[in-house]
Chain A
Amino acid sequence: MAQTLVNTRLRAAGTSVRTGPLAYWNPYLTGMLLGLVLLATYLVTGRGLGATGAFGAVAAWLAGAISPEHAATNLVHAKYWNDGAPLESWTLFLLVGAFVGALVSGVAGRRIAFTVERGPRVTDGQRLALAFVGGFVAAYGAKIAKGCTSGQALTGGSIFNVGSLVFMLAVFASAYALAYLVRKEWL
């Protein structure tokens, strides 16, 4: 009797949750897991994580499709040109893996949604334009700082790199200072 009651309750709970996305994991637990991934990356490669380099590799590949000479001699593209094989980039393959990992996690958590993330006071079109502009600006910042949230903040921060800590403080200072101006986009 008691067992039947428990089973009924479990089934009821199961059906009610099945309709929506599952809750995210505890941030401290997930942070610890992410830290172990970062540690493993250090142990294997000696270099930690990164993401912006993958975009640099694709940019060099695009430039090379138009003119290999230009891609090989441009000061920035040259770093990613890799003797004509810019797509054989460690960071690009890292992001390919990240895409699959996020997809698996998203499917398991029932969080796949073909939507636009925005607050109720902007349109989809406005949000997509702002996302593009934000991506452009973030890329420029990451190029100047020689890294992003992954490559500088996480990777450098965990080995006490002073420049990485300066970067992290500057990122948060800037975003907090601008948050009020763009509140319509999110709240």
Chain B
Amino acid sequence: MFPLSSFHEFSTAANLAMAVVLGFGFGFCLERAGFGSARKLTAVFYLYDMAVVKVMFTAIVTAMTGVFLLSAAGVLDIAELYLEPTNFAAQAIGGLVFGAGFIVGGYCPGTCVASMATGRKDGYAFALGMLAGVLAYAELTPGIDAWIKDTAQGAMTLPSLTGIGAGWWTLAFIAFLAFAGWGMSKLEARFAGLKPSAA
């Protein structure tokens, strides 16, 4: 039955309309969480406000649980879900570079949209920088894409790698979130002094 895209041929217009509707929910959640503000986002790296990790981790665990339950009920075919091939070198290097851009720029590609919608000028500067970066990547180093493809290890998940079922992994992530939530409240109390009074 799900994903719908595997059992239905949607027109381009229908596809793009669904993108706008789902995007509305995406942007609404990001702004509600405070992710339209670069200071709220970067606060996670100074440990006085861990909202970024709390929101991300809870979102991952929620979607994870939903995917597991729906596939266990036979409603969702997880083999139909797109899985980006793993390339350890590319994802590690890309992640390190991305993290540097995040702490210097203050946003990530999705959250800069929430910041622009709420008027933050630095969000517009970040988006322009991203556009320049994507253009530079395409024009100056298009060969990196071929390298990534040639050296990829292929589709790989924790259950397929370890032989431990998705249900156990889901339970482990839920348990870890509970433990991390406790740890983060301790961190926030300890580093509360770094919190700016006006933000």
Contact = CB atoms under 8 A, between A and B. Distances in A.
B130 A104 contact: no
A105 interface: yes
Given A153-B56, A159-B78, A137 B96 contact: no
B119 A133 contact: no
Contact of A142 (B36, B56, B59, B98): B98
A121 to B, nearest CB: 11
A150 B3 CA distance: 19
| Most central of A35, A157, A166, A183 by chain B CB within 10 Å | A35
B94 A142 contact: yes
A163 B157 CA distance: 8
| Most central of A51, A97, A147 by chain B CB within 10 Å | A97
B46 A131 contact: no
B155 to A, nearest CB: 8
A162 B103 CA distance: 24
A139 B101 contact: yes
Interface in A20-42: 24-25, 27-28, 30-42
Given A106-B36, A135-B127, 5 more contacts: A24-B51, A100-B23, A106-B118, A141-B94, A171-B96
What 7 pairs across the A-B complex have the smallest Cβ distances? A134-B105, A97-B23, A145-B94, A170-B95, A135-B129, A35-B62, A31-B58
Interface of A: 24-25, 27-28, 30-49, 51-52, 54-56, 58-60, 62-63, 74-77, 88, 90-91, 93-106, 109, 111-120, 124, 127-154, 156-179, 182-183, 185-187
Interface of B: 2-6, 12, 15-34, 36-40, 42-43, 45-46, 50-51, 54-64, 66-67, 70, 76, 78, 80-88, 90-123, 125-139, 142-146, 148, 153, 156-159, 161, 166, 169, 181, 194, 196
24 contacts: A34-B62, A35-B66, A36-B66, A37-B26, A44-B18, A45-B5, A49-B26, A74-B139, A98-B27, A98-B113, A101-B25, A102-B113, A102-B117, A115-B119, A118-B39, A132-B132, A134-B102, A138-B109, A139-B129, A139-B133, A148-B108, A149-B110, A166-B86, A175-B103
